[in-house]
Structure 1
C-alpha cells in the first residue's frame, strides 16, 4: 500500500477511489516503513453511502477520522478545525464555527502581507508536539476552498474569531473559552481520548498565546490581530 507523509508521520493508506488518491497525492512519500496504517472498510463506506453520500467523500472522511484518532492516541497531536497560515515562518491559527468567516479573514492576511503569508491549511490542520515544540501541519483535507500546502511551522498563537461591530483582540485563558476550543476538535466519548485532548490543550495554551478576536470583515480586523501579537 502507498505511504503518505502527514504531520511528520509515515502513514500507510489504501485508497479505494481515484478521487481519494488525488486528494492524498501531494503527501505521498517514497518511504517504505510506516508509523501506522489506516484503511476505510468497504462495508463502512457502503453503509454511509446508502444515505446518499458520495463514496469517495465518505472514504476521505473515514480516513481523516482514523488518522486524527491515531495521532491523538500515540503522537501528541490533534485535528483543529481552523484556517491556519504561516507568517514570517510562524504559524497562526484562526478558529470559529463554520460560516463565521475564518477563510475570509485569512484571505485578508494574504492581501495585506503578500508573500510574507503562506496558507498551511484552510480547514483541517493538525497541531502536533514534536521535540517539545507544537507545530501546525498542513493535511490533504483542506475544505471547500482547497487551500493549503504540505508544510509545517511552529505554532505562535491561536485566535478564536467572533463577529462584532468593532475590531479588537484580547488575550484569554483556555478555561474562559473552553467550550469553543472543544468545538474545534474531534470530541470523543471515550474517557482516555478526552483526557488526552485536555492534556494537549493544557500544554498548548501554556506554551502559546490564545486570543479572542472580535472583528468585522475588514483590513482593520487583521491590523487589530497583528498589533495584539506585537504587544
Structure 2
C-alpha cells in the first residue's frame, strides 16, 4: 500500500500490480495510511470490468478501476474528475473539452508551439477540479468535507460562497503523457468542435446554462451513490455560476489557436494587443 495526494486529498492505495505505483510516482507522499482521507482497492471483478474489449493488461485495468473509485469519492471533498485538457497561461487555467478525434491534443500543441515556455499543460486528459473556499483557497484533506474552516456548512454560509475552482494535475494525463503535479485557478472552459468544410474558425461565448450543463454531463463521472451524485451536481451548478464557457468551432490550425487566445485574454485588452502585434505562425 502507498499514499498519494491528489487535488489536496490524501488517499491510501492498495494494489495487486506495480503499474499503478509507478504511474503515481510523482504524487506519492510519505504519510501513514491512517492519515489519509480514505483508501481504495480493486477486486478482480472490478479490474476485469475495465477491459470490455480485452485489449488491455490487468495491471493497466487495475489503474483505471482505482482512479474510478477515487473520483467517485472526490465530491465529498468539493472535487470531481473533469475529462478535458487543462493548460496554464499567465497564472490562469484554461480547460479544453472535446469528443475523441476532434483535435483537442492538436489544439493544445498549437498553444505550446505559439507560446513556448509561457504555457504549461497541467493535465492532458483527466484533471480534477476542486472548489476552494475563501482567500486561502485551500482546505486540505483532513478538513471535514462540505464545511468551511470554522466548521460552518458552505450551504449555510450563503448561496454564493466566495472561492474559486482550481484545476489539479493527476497521474492520468492521456496517451501523450502531458501533465505535471501542479495546480492552477480555472479561468475558463472551452468546448472544441470540428467545423464544417468552408466554415471559418469561430469562438463564441455560451450563455444558456442548460446547454452548458448538457455539455458538462459528457465530461464528468457521476457517482452511483445518491448523496455523492447530488454533491456532484451541486458542484457542476457552482462551476456554471463561476466560470465562463465557450465553444470553439475550428480546424486544427494556427488560426484556431488565435481564436481561442481571445478567450484567454478577454479581460486584458493591452496584453491581447501585444500578442496580436507579435503573433506570427507558419502555415
Instruction: State the TM-score, normalized to the length of structure 2.
Output: 0.76
Deviation track 1:102-161 (CA, whole Å, cap 9, x = no partner) reads 111111100001111111111100111122221001111112111110100000000011
Distance in 1, matches of 2:4 and 2:170, equals: 10
Secondary structure of the structure 2 residue equivalent to 1:149: coil
Q: Which has the larger radius of gyration?
A: 2
Q: Give the match for residue 2 of structure 2.
A: 2
Cα distance, 1:35 vs structure 2 = 1.3
SS at match of 1:220: helix
SS at match of 1:127: strand
- Equivalent position of 1:145 in the other structure: 176
Secondary structure at 2:210 match in 1: coil
- Residue 24 of structure 2 corresponds to which residue in structure 1? 24
**Secondary structure in 1 matching 2:231:** helix
Asked if the contact 2:48/2:61 (under 8 Å) is kept, the reply is no
Within the candidate set 67, 75, 78, 1:76 is matched to 78
Instruction: Spell out the pairing of 1:164-179 with structure 2 (5 A cutoff).
Output: 164=195, 165-173=199-207, 174-179=209-214
Where structure 2 has 5 or more consecutive residues not aligned to the other structure, the ranges are: 134-162, 267-283
Secondary structure, aligned partner of 1:29: coil
Q: Any gaps of 5 or more consecutive residues in structure 1? A: none
Contact 2:72 2:223 in 1 (8 A): no
Q: Is the 8 A contact 1:170 1:228 kept in 2?
A: no
> Whole-Å Cα distance in 2 between the matches of residues 110 and 68 of structure 1?
28
Are the structure 2 counterparts of residues 43 and 88 from structure 1 closer, same or farther at C-alpha, using a change threshold of 3 Å? same
Structure 1 runs (4+) greater than 3 angstroms displaced: 46-51, 187-194
2:213–2:236: 8 Å Cα contact kept in structure 1?
no
Shift of 1:191: 4.1
Correspondence for 2:103:
101
More strand by share: 1
Work out the number of aligned pairs and report it: 230
Say what the alpha-carbon RMSD is for the aligned residues.
Answer: 1.8
Deviates more, 1:188-197 or 1:92-101: 188-197
- What is aligned with 1:122? 124
1:206-221 residue pairs with structure 2 within 5 A?
A: 206-221=241-256
Partner residue in 1 for 2:63:
60
